[in-house]
Amino acid sequence: MIFLYMRLHKLILMFLLGLPCLLCSVAYGQTGDSNKVLSNASLQEIINYALVNKPGVKQSLIDEEIGERDIMSALSGWFPQIKGDANYNYNLKQQVSTLTMNGETSLLVLGTKHTSAFTLQADQKFLDAGLIQASKASKYYRQQYKQSTENAKINTVVSVSKAYFDVLTSKEQLKIIGENIARLEKQLKDAKAQYENGLVDKTDYQRAQISLSNSKADKKRAEELIKYKYTYLKELIGYGGDKDFSLNFDAVKMENEILIDTNQRETYENRVEYRLLQTQKQLQHLNTSYNKWSFLPSISGFINYNWNYLNNNFGDLYDTNYPSSLLGLKLSLPIFQGTKRIQELRKSQLQELRIDLDLANARNQIKSQYEQAMATYKANLNDWKTAGANVEISRQVYQTIKLQYDEGIKAYLDLMTSETDLRTAQLNYLNSLYSLLSSRLDVQQALGTITVNQ
């Protein structure tokens, strides 16, 4: 009866230990979508894809599962530990003893030539310092694994967003260079016609050729760089193969969301890195408690059943069984271990103090990071506004000088200068826009307001 009960208990235990793996497999099957094609994808679609398919995020999720297995392995010590043993012995020389009766002494041969035994034993721990620590620490270990995954996802959101902004800024730069080439080609055509008609000298035509060649070289350089930026973005999100990949750029939406409240202040607990340190402190405090619990005794119980066989003839050894069984409790009290427990306790207390210093240092770093991110954001915001105004002014100046050049009032050098100023202002605007978007992400990361669902 006891044997059947233990067997049933073990089957239930195996099922419970295997259930999380089964549920995890189902969950992974529902979330993974590596075959999805990203065509005309928005930033949110890119981020969603990265949070499922980026190798770094996947590794964090696997680390969570590994951690869960470690926790279950540590807690399994609370369940009955069942083991079976078997042995066979051949007594080369049997022990002899003396027996004295009525003044006469006779020799007795003890035991038999052949002995064998099968033992089934179950051990159950009732009080154990290590198991108590494992039970209390499991909550914090799960929390630590989830926070590490959250940290990986937040870093993914930031890096993917910046790469996305970089690609789309480069695309807009290509458009500006293309518009510039179209203007220069028209200027070259006009300068050539004026030169052939004797209205201007050859230098205007040659300058137009030089400007056009330089702009075409800039376009080629930008086209090659944008290929790399696409490849880098695909690497970040785990988008492999030669599948179609294109992006959607909603400039109006981005500019509407570009402003943030600059009066916000940093809250340390919003930062996952800070919460990770707090979790480590809680775990270290439990480790200190464990070193105190190690002075307590451990209590366990056991029950076994033995099948014993003995005979002088090997062929008849297993004919007759002489069973035995034992039930008992065991108390173990470590009395002296050469001050090892005291040293481990002091060490753990010092490690707690060290984590306190890590928390203080983290607070200083978070504050410094926030101040830097906010200062950079404000400076980039001013640059963006200035660049936007400069684009409009440069466009008006170019249009005016173009009319004056067509009327013969302005020299071609003035037209080239105004055209260069317009192109520079447009590119500066795009660069300031990218810098502002990136610094906005840095401020949000410093505040701890970026979430994986954002």
Q: pTM for the complete prediction?
A: 0.79
Which residue has tokens 């994808």? 41
- Strands 298-311, 245-247: parallel, antiparallel or unpaired by DSSP? unpaired
pLDDT at 20 exceeding the cut of 80: no
The pLDDT score that the predictor gives to residue 5 is 34
Q: DSSP letter at 94?
A: -
pLDDT at 13 exceeding the cut of 70: no
**In terms of Cα–Cα distance, which of 308, 305, 323, 324 is closest to 114?**
308
- Kindly report, residue by residue over 80-102, the tens digit of the pLDDT: 999 999 999 999 888 888 888 77
The dihedral through the CA atoms of 239, 242, 244, 247 has a sign that is positive
Q: Domain extents for the chain?
A: 39-79+128-297+336-447, 86-126+305-332
Residues 160-165 have a mean pLDDT of: 92
- Kindly report, residue by residue over 297-351, the tens digit of the pLDDT: 899 999 999 999 999 899 889 999 999 999 999 999 888 888 888 998 999 999 9
Q: Is 40 left (phi over 0), alpha (psi -120 to 50) or beta?
A: left
Residue 294 has phi, psi (to 5 degrees) of -65, -15
- Kindly report, residue by residue over 213-270, the tens digit of the pLDDT: 998 999 999 999 999 999 999 999 998 877 788 888 776 777 777 888 888 888 899 9
The arrangement of strands across the sheet holding 81-90 comes to: 81-90, 114-127, 298-311, 324-332
Architecture of domain 39-79+128-297+336-447: Up-down Bundle (1.20)
Distances (CA, A) of 312 to 41, 111, 153, 222: 84, 9, 71, 94
The pLDDT score that the predictor gives to residue 453 is 57
The pLDDT score that the predictor gives to residue 118 is 96
- Strands 245-247, 81-90: parallel, antiparallel or unpaired by DSSP? unpaired
**In terms of Cα–Cα distance, which of 199, 197, 223, 195 is closest to 208?**
195
